[in-house]
Amino acid sequence: MNNIFQLSFILLVASSPLLAAPDKVAPSKPNILFIMADDHAWQAVSAYGESRHLIQTPNIDRLASEGIRFDRYLVNNSLCGPSRAAILTGTYSHINGFYNNTNCRFDGSQTTFPKLLRKAGYQTAMIGKWHLETDPTGFDHWEILPGQGRYYNPPMIRDGKPVTYPGYVTDVITDLSLEWLKQRDPSKPFMLLCWQKAPHREWEPAPRDLNFDHDRTYPLPDSLFDDYSGRGRAEHDQNMTIAKTMRMNEDCKLTAPKDLSAEQKKSWDAYYAPRNEAFLKQNLTGRALTEWKYNRYMHDYLGCVKGVDDNVGRILKYLDETGLATNTIVIYSSDQGFFLGEHGWFDKRWIFQESARAPLLIRWPGTIRAGSVNKDLVCNLDFAETFLQVAQTPIPDRMQGRSFLPVLQGTTPADWRKAFYYHYYEYPAFHKVRPHYGVITDRYTLAHFYAPDVDYWELFDRDKDPGEMRSVFNNPAYADVQAGLIQEVLRQRKQLKEPNKDDPKAFGPFDEWPVSDAPAKKVRNK
């Protein structure tokens, strides 16, 4: 009798989702773990083999070696909030209503993939940087940084209640993500957004990483001292250069952050104080000062990247140790690209490759062939549709991306996009980049700068001019290409239901400017 009772109890324990070992119950649908950094340039992921060899990112690279690396992943609007809104909704800014970071608030009542996955039986969580001004919706649990968040001892909002955590923000977000994974309901598949703050400005590394590069002198980008010849007013009249815009105190660390603990401040001062003193004694000016600022920028930015990579390693280790790795899709990406001195710039915003292109690496054991490299044009609007197809859930007609699940499975559809539409609005805050739209193909970039005091087009042949240094718009040798790409822009604007006149709030709290397609009429068609 006792043996029968013991056997019954063992069977009850094994069959109970509440009592079973949390990571040994395999849901029928794959788990989705989406790790996203903020402003992580593809040039700062070693799997991409960037020529300057800025940093080694072994944990992020592991996703490439065990999965797929996308070489032409693009975003619709290279700015934090608008890109996140596009990821959640699968729609462009003019549909989801989030155009810029200055006066937009995300409408949480609209359809998003977390809501649909939750309805389909997924347990959902959002942890980290949200940056959409309203509370997250569609999640069983959320814990977000208010606004941009802080690097040290970050305040957060946990399911609507304020909390503060000691430590470094990248570690904290990872700790909270692992905590949720351990406490989740193991009988359900999960979807976790682990969205990091780093390496966003002001690029403050963890204390342990302050001397990670041992005072390395970084190779300069070829276009650090770009004079913007061969391009228009927008490139000449911007405010995002390392030389003039980067602030000495906050950005270059001549002063310490105000939110450091006593122990953190001690580590900070031990690293920066002697180096700052040596810098001030040199009294640098001109190019020498710009080069110093570039090297300080690289030290701080890449130190933040190292922290992200280390924490990706922590998450992958947990998935391995718990057996979750075999049934979990792991995505690593960034909300957009970032300039690391190219054209003398930092920040993002432009349609150019350093900005509109971002890293994307995905691992899915048993589905993605390890070590794959893909050059199809995929974009941030595609995530929602892909996740919904993975979850075998209908995709709303409202969404404007396309599932790249077939691409992950090794087959690119014959009708996959050949040109991707881009539209940036915010002006003049914060870096005076003129609004513009255009298309990116595997070879060309076409952009129309249209407001408030400019109206011109630029065309770049990236095969011959990979740095996008000289426009060939109206060059007779490109007449057919130019005409075809302008027609593609107009076709996509119509297909995507872009209004001829932008929403007055699109640019921020400033004057309204009309969108003009007039220059297209001046282009000679064959």
The domain ranges of the chain are 32-204+295-408
Q: Mean of the pLDDT values across residues 520-526?
A: 34
pLDDT(150) > 60: yes
| pLDDT computed for residue 1 by the predictor | 36
Model confidence band, residue 8 (pLDDT cutoffs 50, 70, 90): very low
pLDDT of residue 451: 87
Instruction: For the chain, give percent helix, strand, coil, nearest 5.
Output: 35, 15, 50
Residue 522 has pLDDT above 60, yes or no: no
What is the mean pLDDT of the segment spanning 356-372?
Answer: 98
- Residue 124 near residue 139, CB atoms below 8 Å: yes
Question: Does the structure show a pLDDT above 60 at 518?
Answer: no
Report pLDDT digits (tens) over 315-345: 999 999 999 999 999 999 999 999 999 999 9
* Confidence bin at 27 (pLDDT 50/70/90): low
Q: Which helix (H) or strand (E) holds 207?
A: none
How far is the CA of 361 from the CAs of 161, 198, 473, in angstroms?
34, 17, 34
CA–CA separation, 195 vs 338, rounded Å? 17
pLDDT reading at 14 higher than 90: no
Inter-CA distances, 270 with 171, 263, 304, Å:
22, 11, 18
- pLDDT given at position 225: 98
Q: How confident is the model at residue 504 (pLDDT cuts 50, 70, 90)?
A: confident
Model pLDDT for residues 80-127, shown as the tens digit of each residue: 999 999 999 999 999 999 999 999 999 999 999 999 999 999 999 999
User: 169-173, 226-230, 356-360, 520-524: lowest mean pLDDT where?
Assistant: 520-524
Provide the token pair at 18. 């509440």
Distance CA(57)–CA(316), nearest Å, equals 14
CATH code that applies to domain 32-204+295-408? 3.40.720.10
Q: Tens digit of pLDDT for each residue in 437-494?
A: 999 999 999 999 998 899 999 999 999 999 999 999 999 999 999 999 999 999 999 9
pLDDT at 26: 52
Q: Could you give the percent of the chain with pLDDT greater than 90?
A: 90
From residue 344, how far is each of 32, 220, 226 by CA, in Å? 38, 10, 6
Arithmetic mean of pLDDT, 177-187? 98
Q: Say what the pLDDT of residue 509 is.
A: 77
Question: Is the bond preceding residue 394 a cis peptide, omega within 30 degrees?
Answer: no
Average of per-residue pLDDT values in the chain:
93
Determine contact, residues 297/203, Cβ cutoff 8 Å.
yes
Q: Whole-prediction pTM value? A: 0.93
